[in-house]
Amino acid sequence: MSYLKRDDRTEMLLNATTEIMRQQGFVATTARRIAQQSNSAIGNINRVFGSLQALKELAFITLTQQVVVEFKQRALQMAPREAMLIMLGDPVECHELIEVHLWQEVAILAEQDASLTPIYTEALRVWHQALCDTINDGVAQQAFRCSDTVEQTAWRLMACALGLDMLVRFGPLQPAQDEARRSVLRMIDFELNTAEFPD
């Protein structure tokens, strides 16, 4: 392999790691796979990032930011209610998305390994900000009416979506994604006083 500057190696290794993580998950993102994907020596991971764990954590946050940007771009083409559904993880559309499974995987891992808590917390913060932006857009279009602060409304919707996701995966709703989708829409309608929900 030809010599690469440190910045080039950093970008190459990070891109390879996010690609593997997006396709195969957090645990499956091993040093060997990263080295193969990037056509680099395994030792470069420690030299550039300090450790495999540090690289994986950076890749997870980078991937979270990329996915949120992609979802927000899609949401621009939608009515506010449908945009909120997408940003909350439409149970029908997002059921097979590897990004959703990756978030679920890291959430479980963070319960077992406290060192992962900061990156999961940061991922939640990124998601929360994206939801706040979507709510503000809907309010500006007079499609939403908030009876609470936008920030608190977004946290409640996140909590409901995360709890509902657990039911879909492990509980009595499995595998009724259509029913879960109706529940998410009802939460949106209730919290944001949309025209779909009677006063």
Task: Give a yes or no: residue 168 inside a domain.
Answer: yes
pLDDT in tens, the chain (199 residues): 444 456 788 999 999 999 999 999 999 999 999 999 999 999 999 999 999 999 999 999 999 999 889 888 888 889 999 999 988 877 666 655 667 778 889 989 999 999 999 999 999 999 999 999 999 999 999 999 999 999 999 999 988 888 776 666 665 555 567 777 888 889 899 999 876 544 4
The DSSP-derived string for 51-109 is SHHHHHHHHHHHHHHHHHHHHHHHHTTS-HHHHHHHHT--TTTSTT-HHHHHHHHHHHH
Looking up residue 168, the CATH number of its domain turns out to be 1.10.357.10
pTM given for the model? 0.81
Task: Give a yes or no: residue 50 inside a domain.
Answer: no
106: domain range?
A: 59-192
CA angle 181/151/92 to nearest 5° reads 15
